[in-house]
Amino acid sequence: MSATPAAVNQMPREHYLNATWGIRSWLLTTDHKRIALLYLASVTFFFFIGGAFATMIRIHLLSPKGLLVTPETYNKLFTMHGVAMIFFFLIPSIPAVLGNFLLPIMIGAKDLAFPKINLLSWYIYLVGGCFVLYSFSTGGLDTGWTFYTPLSSVYSNSAVTPAVLGVFINGFSSILTGLNFIVTVHTMRAPGMTWFRLPLFVWAQYATSIIFILGTPVIAITLLLAGLERVFHLGFFNPALGGDPILFQHLFWFYSHPAVYIMILPAMGVISEIIPTFARKPIFGYSFIAGSSIAIAVIGFFVWAHHMFVTGESTYAALTFSLLSYLVAIPSAVKVFNWTSTLYKGSISYDTPMLYALGFIGLFLIGGLTGLFLACLGLDIHLHDTYFVIAHFHYIMVGGAVMGYVGGLHYWWPKITGKLYPEFLARIAAITLFLGFNLTFFPQFILGYLGMPRRYASYPPEFQVLNVMSTAGASILALGYLLPMIYLTWSMRYGAIAGPNPWPGTGLEWRTPSPPPTENFDVTPEVTWEPYDYDNRPDLGLDVSGAPALAHGDD
C-alpha cells in the first residue's frame, strides 16, 4: 500500500531528466543528479569488467589443476578483477552515484557547492579508467591490486605503468568529490537543517569525504613513486637502489585500509536510511550512529599495518597495530546494535530495500567478526594470505558495500526515475543475491582455515568440493545481479508511477517530486522536524496512534 494518495502519483511535467535534451546536455551538465547517472553508467561498466574477470577466476578454480588459463594469466585475472572492482567500482559507487544524487537534496540545497568541479571529477574518472583499460588490453596487469614493490616496480613484465597512472589520475576524482561534499554540507544546508538533523546518509558521506581528502593523496603519490621507480629507476622501494619495499606497504595501506571504510561507510549510511523507513520508527541512537561514522573514519587511519604482520614489520609495531585494529570494532558494533534496536517493536515490512538492509546486517556482522580474527596477531600468522582473508573482505565489500549499494539503488530508484520496479521480482532477486553470496564466499572461510592460499592458480584435490560450491554460488550471485539490471531498466519505461514518497520516508528527498526538478525544490524547504520522526509527521499519512502502519507492498 502506498500512503501517498493516488491523485498525487503523477509524473511531474518537467523534471531533471527532460529539462534539456541531447547528448550535449548530458556531457556538459552541471546538475548533480545527471552527473550521478553518468557515474551510474560508468561504475556499472566497470562492475561488468570486474565481474567478467571474477567469472573467469571461478571457472578456472573448478578443477584442482585449473581449468581455463595459464598461471601467468590467472595472476592477471585476479589483479584486474581487484583493480576494476576496488578503484573503479566500489570506491566511487555509493558516493559518486547515490551521494551525488542525494546529498544536495537531503540537505535542501539546489546543487553541490562546485557543480563544474563535480562534472570534472567524472571526466577525471573516465581518463583514469581509460588508462586502466589500456593496461588491461595491452598485456594486462599481474601485480595484484596492491601493486607491491619490487614486483610492480622492477620485475613485472605486464602493463604496470598505465595502470598505476590510471589509479593515480582516478584519485583526483575522489578528492574532488570529497571536497565538494564537505563544502556543500558546511555551507549549503537549508534553514533548520542543523548538524544533528542531517540524515545519517549525509553523516556517512561526510565521514567518507574526510578519508577521501586525507588518504587519497597518499596512495596517489605512492603509486606515482612506484611508477617513477619502474620507468626512471629512482630508488624509493627497490633495495638494490637503496629503497625499502616495506615503505611502499606502509604508504599503500595508509590509504588502502581507510579505503575499506570509504567503501563500507556510505553503505552503512544507506542502511541507516532504510531501517527506520521500513521499521516505521525513529532510528535508535541517532547521535551515536553519526558519531560512529566519524570514529570509524578517524580510527581507520591508525590500523593499516595489520596488513603487514608477516611481511617484515617489527614485532612491536605489529603488536600496537593489532591492538588498535580491535578498536574499529567498537563504532562498527555501535551501528549494528543501534540498527537492531531500531527494529525492536518496529512495524517492520519486508520490502526489497529492507531485505537488502537486513542482509547487510547479517553479512557485515560475519565480515566484521572475522576481521577480529585477522586483527589477532597470533591467528593472523596462520590465516594471512589464505582464502579466509578473501572471504572476510568479500563479506565486507560485497556482502556489505555492494548490498548497501544495490539496496540503496532500490530504495531511491523511485526518486531517481519516478517509477516503481516490480516488487515481487525484486524480492526474489534480493534473496537470490543473498543465497548466492553466501554459497560463494562461506566455503572460502573453510578453505582458508584449512590452508588454501590466495592468488594460487591450482590447489590440492581435497579442496575441490568447496571450490565447486563456491563457483556454483558465483553463478547464482551473477543471476542476482543480472535480475535487478533487467527489471530496473525495464521499470524506467514500464514501471508504475512512484509519486513523491512511495515508502513513505521522512527525509527532504521525499518532499520533492519524483523525479525532482533540476533545482531540486520549487521553494527552498525549511526543516522543522527531527530526523526519522515518524511519530510527529502527520503529513506522511501514517496512523501512528493505533495499529502499526502498513508499508508499501503489504497490501
Partner 1 sequence: MSEQHSEQHHIASPTLYLTIFAALMICTFLTVVAAKIDLNQYFSGLNIIVALTIAVFKASLVVLFFMHAKYSPKRTQLVIIASVFWLAIMLFMTMSDYVSRSWT
Binding-site ranges for partner 1 (CB under 8 A) = 187, 214, 218, 246-247, 250-251, 254, 301-302, 305, 313-317, 320
Q: Do 149 and 164 contact (CB within 8 A), yes or no?
A: no
Q: Residue 185 CB, nearest distance to partner 1 (Å)?
A: 14
Dist. CA 484–CA 410, nearest whole Å: 9
| Nearer CB in complex with partner 1: 317/381 | 317
Q: Residue 187 CB, nearest distance to partner 1 (Å)?
A: 7
Dist. CA 394–CA 90, nearest whole Å: 12
| Nearer CB in complex with partner 1: 22/242 | 242
Q: Residue 254 CB, nearest distance to partner 1 (Å)?
A: 5
| Nearer CB in complex with partner 1: 8/317 | 317
What letter would DSSP give residue 551? P
| Nearer CB in complex with partner 1: 254/284 | 254
| Nearer CB in complex with partner 1: 157/315 | 315
CA distances to 143, 184, 555 from 261, in Å: 23, 21, 38
Dist. CA 473–CA 446, nearest whole Å: 15
Q: Do 226 and 164 contact (CB within 8 A), yes or no?
A: yes
Is 485 buried (19+), middle (13-18) or exposed (0-12) by CB count in 10 A? middle
Contacts of 368 (CB under 8 A, 6+ apart): 329, 332, 333, 336, 396
Contacts of 124 (CB under 8 A, 6+ apart): 169, 170, 172, 173, 176
| Nearer CB in complex with partner 1: 157/187 | 187
Q: Residue 251 CB, nearest distance to partner 1 (Å)?
A: 8
| Helix, strand, coil content of the chain in percent (nearest 5) | 70, 0, 30
Helix axes 245-279, 403-417, angle to 10 degrees: 50
| Nearer CB in complex with partner 1: 309/421 | 309
What letter would DSSP give residue 7? G
Q: Residue 37 CB, nearest distance to partner 1 (Å)?
A: 31
Q: In 3-state terms, what secondary structure has residue 532?
A: coil
| Nearer CB in complex with partner 1: 130/317 | 317
| Nearer CB in complex with partner 1: 11/214 | 214
Q: Do 140 and 451 contact (CB within 8 A), yes or no?
A: no
Q: Residue 214 CB, nearest distance to partner 1 (Å)?
A: 5
Q: Residue 518 CB, nearest distance to partner 1 (Å)?
A: 25
| Nearer CB in complex with partner 1: 77/179 | 179
What letter would DSSP give residue 90? I
Secondary structure element (H or E) that encloses residue 17, with its range: none
Q: Residue 316 CB, nearest distance to partner 1 (Å)?
A: 4
Dist. CA 478–CA 399, nearest whole Å: 14
Q: Residue 250 CB, nearest distance to partner 1 (Å)?
A: 5
| Nearer CB in complex with partner 1: 244/423 | 244
Q: Residue 274 CB, nearest distance to partner 1 (Å)?
A: 33
Q: Residue 481 CB, nearest distance to partner 1 (Å)?
A: 37
Q: Residue 291 CB, nearest distance to partner 1 (Å)?
A: 18
What letter would DSSP give residue 154? I
| Nearer CB in complex with partner 1: 214/544 | 214
Q: Do 50 and 109 contact (CB within 8 A), yes or no?
A: no
Q: Do 390 and 446 contact (CB within 8 A), yes or no?
A: no
Q: Residue 249 CB, nearest distance to partner 1 (Å)?
A: 10
What letter would DSSP give residue 34? H
End-to-end CA distance of the chain: 5
| Nearer CB in complex with partner 1: 135/256 | 256
CA distances to 62, 78, 156, 434 from 73, in Å: 16, 9, 13, 30
Dist. CA 330–CA 297, nearest whole Å: 13
Q: Residue 355 CB, nearest distance to partner 1 (Å)?
A: 39
Is 91 buried (19+), middle (13-18) or exposed (0-12) by CB count in 10 A? buried
Secondary structure element (H or E) that encloses residue 56, with its range: helix 32-60
- Residue 237, CB half-sphere, CA atoms under 13 Å: how many? 26
Q: Do 59 and 125 contact (CB within 8 A), yes or no?
A: no
| Nearer CB in complex with partner 1: 43/175 | 175
